[in-house]
Structure 1
Amino acid sequence: MAATTSSAGKPATISGVEIVLESVTKRYPNQKQPAVDNVNLTIPAGEIVVFVGPSGCGKTTTMRMINRLIEPSSGTITIGGKDALSIDPNELRRGIGYSIQQAGLFPHLTIAKNVATVPGLIGWDKQKIKARTDEMLDLVGLDPDMYRDRYPRQLSGGQQQRVGVARALAADPPVLLMDEPFGAVDPITRGLLQDELMRLQSELGKTIVFVTHDFNEAVKLGDRIAVLGNQSAIMQYDTPEAILANPANDMVAGFVGADASLKQLTLTRVRDVDLIQCPTVTEGDSVDELRTLLAGRKRQWALILDDRGRPMRWVNPSHLAHASSLRGTGMPVGEVVSVQSTLQDALEALLAESTASTVATGSRGEYVGLITIDTLVSHLSSMREEHAHDHEEGDHKAVDAESNEVAR
């Protein structure tokens, strides 16, 4: 993030540090070929860098060598300018957050004790640990009073994953390693967790190394993506925009796929486009006044909001025909997207809605606007025009350079 253009938005502060891998190799006994061969990579401070590649290519092995859960056979790894191989492994790991698939929580410990694991190991006092635990639960969207004394089995998969992230961040590490952390949850929950991670990163500015086999997830989350081949050979290391526009080779193009233009929707957040507005009411408002308001509109839908401005139900003239009150009137709002969501998320939510639009909400779940198919089509058209203009400018510069060369 820092001075770069981030998929998740620039953080208010950067608390992460740079990670540098130089000639990092991992060989296992009785194997002819190394599992990871001569990786050279710089991960900038405060950015999300995503490792993506086929199963067995070495991406998880490469990531685990950063905190020495797997020891490198050769090469050097520096974290914030310090040689990771010169630090005691246990001390090193306590300074690096680690989040894995299915959260990896201790089933016999309460949620509070799970989150407090690393602060306890490094000697924080009880009051500081309690305050930090509550702060972390609140940060990941879990009410401390409701969840601190529960056990992992009493939480949903998505809630457990949030606790896993809270635990990884509890000791305020500069680096967070995430090994397919959202791979075991359903697609809707996965999208919400991705949005939550981007919101957290916008506040915290950690250095995050994220492993996934899902290229769409890589595009959504990554400031940079490292597309890895066999033995973690780096096929391309660049921003999502650059990789989508110019895949380095056939393998990378295979990851990008034929729907590259639709993947462009993953590069834009809901907060970055102009949202459409519709009439909003509360349950205490007048049915007659709403009926009159909708009668003069081309798009005859309104939203009923609760007392905190959160969307509850859609309502149209057919719902109002025999209604005497807005209480219980209309149909429930389906899947919503947040301002952190991508336009790709909005498209998926939109296709499931009978209203031909999806509701966008703010950080507290409050209604902020609507996204429609027209919103998405307009955005893709403007992106195509922008790319065509950039391509035309590039051609002109090439011609000018050739002309100057001839003149010399």
Structure 2
Amino acid sequence: MSQNEVHSGTGVGRREGRPDDRDVASGGSAVSGVEIRLEEVSKRYPGQALPAVESVTMTIPAGNTVALVGPSGCGKTTTMKMINRLIEPSSGRITIGGEDAHSLHPDQLRRRIGYAIQQVGLFPHMTVGENVGVVPGLIGWRSGRVADRVDEMLDLVGLDPAEYRDRFPRQLSGGQQQRVGVARALAADPPVLLMDEPFGAVDPITRGNLQDELLRLQAELGKTIVFVTHDFDEAVKLGDRIAVLGPRSTILQYDTPEAILANPADDTVAGFVGAGAKLKQLALLRVRDVELGEVPTARVDEAPEDFRRRLTDGRSQFGLVLDARRRPVRLVSAVELRGVTSLRNAGRPVVDTVSPASTLHDALEAILTDDEGVAVVAKSRGEYAGVVGIDTVMATIRALRAEHEGSADEETPS
């Protein structure tokens, strides 16, 4: 096997809750993605002594998210773009679902592969609905079916179709534009989604929310995703497998995030992992993997005095006010409810929440910035699900440490 040849073996695990072809038989999420194979793929540009990409061989399993991570200029974006022939390979072979990509017309190939990029690339003169419906229209879907699909996809990425369908891109925030970009990439139901640092241009909070959204979508749709990033933490959070790339897309290590964090292949990979590898393992666990706590809740139209009494009687430090759709909107203490006539403006707004798909690392960040020391958990449509406290995260860290120490003892020769 050459230095750049990596295949996915049967011994490589996956994180619970991720789509995989084995899930179909066991009743989990079905896989709609297909396998991608790169065989000795290279890209050479005229006038350059060395190839930009040299002899890359790897298998991307159907329904997996594979993150390509490496420094700027290492060839990761070039490698990804050769999959849909935005860049033509100089040599080698790429198959998608067993079909040679070179045998297809480039336009036909690209309409079967979703593509999302950092700057989104929405057409500014088209509405959101028109942007999402572009590819289905190009491949001949009837107008009624396109309209239904537009609404379906906007709802899928958390944008109310009635509110956003007729807006123009300039009327959206950066995070909303990125959601529309993902909706457009998925509109024709392609088996493969290519993503080139799609969340790199948004603020950290929005970026975390978009990452959570992608995890939720992938758990539901089971696409094959190739995700390019220079951020190793993002690769750990999103990837079923990570390919750490060196110059000319040389594959330094291709394995699960767990395996790379535990056993970096060399000093270069260890440099990508960086300090705090144990803390990064919190990105391998999801909020849905731990038991959620509960706090008292009240409907927004409930009498403040009734809620204050319940908090006092239950000796609760604080509670949550929920709107008509059970979404957390305000966080209040018993003291803050004295003399208040309505819960609509009581206490403080709930600024940020985490989802069941969020990592425990995300939950820890939310906890550390919250006055009450909890992360509020909301479901995909925003409904209240529970809270995660610092004690839960600390118990998980202790369990990870104990597990690591136990594994180290087993490996130490007696």
Relative to structure 1, is the Cα distance of residues 146 and 292 closer, same or farther in structure 2, using a 3 angstrom cutoff?
A: closer
The residue that corresponds to 2:180 in the other structure is 163
Q: Does 1:17 align with 2:34?
A: yes
Equivalent position SS for 2:59: strand
1:55/1:213 contact within 8 Å kept: yes
What pairs with 1:298-309 in structure 2 (closer than 5 Å)? 299-309=316-326
> Over aligned residues, Cα RMSD in angstroms?
1.9
Structure 2: give runs of 5+ residues left out of the alignment: 1-7, 20-27
TM-score normalised over the length of structure 2: 0.91
2:258/2:284 contact within 8 Å kept: yes
**CA displacement, residues 96-130 of structure 1 (integer Å, 9 cap, x when unaligned):** 11111121011111212211111122122212212
Q: How far apart are residue 261 of structure 1 and its match?
A: 1.2
Of residues 360, 363, 381 in structure 2, which corresponds to 1:343?
A: 360
Q: How far apart are residue 276 of structure 1 and its match?
A: 1.5
**CA displacement, residues 202-252 of structure 1 (integer Å, 9 cap, x when unaligned):** 111100000001111100000000000000000110011111111111111
Of residues 120, 123, 132 in structure 2, which corresponds to 1:106?
A: 123
Deviates more, 1:265-274 or 1:297-306: 297-306
Equivalent position SS for 1:141: coil
Deviates more, 1:232-241 or 1:345-354: 345-354
Relative to structure 1, is the Cα distance of residues 261 and 298 closer, same or farther in structure 2, using a 3 angstrom cutoff?
A: farther
The residue that corresponds to 1:247 in the other structure is 264
**CA displacement, residues 62-82 of structure 1 (integer Å, 9 cap, x when unaligned):** 000001100111111111111
Q: How far apart are residue 375 of structure 1 and its match?
A: 1.4
Of residues 197, 201, 204 in structure 2, which corresponds to 1:180?
A: 197
Q: How far apart are residue 259 of structure 1 and its match?
A: 1.0
Q: How far apart are residue 298 of structure 1 and its match?
A: 5.9
Aligned-partner Cα distance in 2 for 1:324–1:30: 75
Q: How far apart are residue 388 of structure 1 and its match?
A: 2.2
Structure 1: give runs of 5+ residues left out of the alignment: 400-408
Matching residue's letter, 2:365: E
Deviates more, 1:276-285 or 1:17-26: 276-285
The residue that corresponds to 1:48 in the other structure is 65
The residue that corresponds to 1:404 in the other structure is none
- Provide the aligned length of Structure 1 versus Structure 2: 397
Equivalent position SS for 1:278: coil
**CA displacement, residues 270-312 of structure 1 (integer Å, 9 cap, x when unaligned):** 1111112111122343544444443355651111112221111
Q: How far apart are residue 322 of structure 1 and its match?
A: 3.2
Q: Highest Rg: 1 or 2?
A: 1
Of residues 69, 83, 87 in structure 2, which corresponds to 1:70?
A: 87
Matching residue's letter, 1:343: L
Q: How far apart are residue 323 of structure 1 and its match?
A: 3.3
The residue that corresponds to 2:148 in the other structure is 131
User: Matched residues, percent identical?
Assistant: 63
The residue that corresponds to 1:279 in the other structure is 296
Q: How far apart are residue 389 of structure 1 and its match?
A: 2.4
Equivalent position SS for 2:170: helix
The residue that corresponds to 2:5 in the other structure is none
The residue that corresponds to 1:403 in the other structure is none
Relative to structure 1, is the Cα distance of residues 239 and 7 closer, same or farther in structure 2, using a 3 angstrom cutoff?
A: farther
Q: How far apart are residue 321 of structure 1 and its match?
A: 3.2
Of residues 38, 41, 53 in structure 2, which corresponds to 1:36?
A: 53
Aligned-partner Cα distance in 1 for 2:125–2:214: 26
Q: Does 1:207 align with 2:216?
A: no
Aligned-partner Cα distance in 1 for 2:221–2:360: 24
Relative to structure 1, is the Cα distance of residues 8 and 234 closer, same or farther in structure 2, using a 3 angstrom cutoff?
A: farther
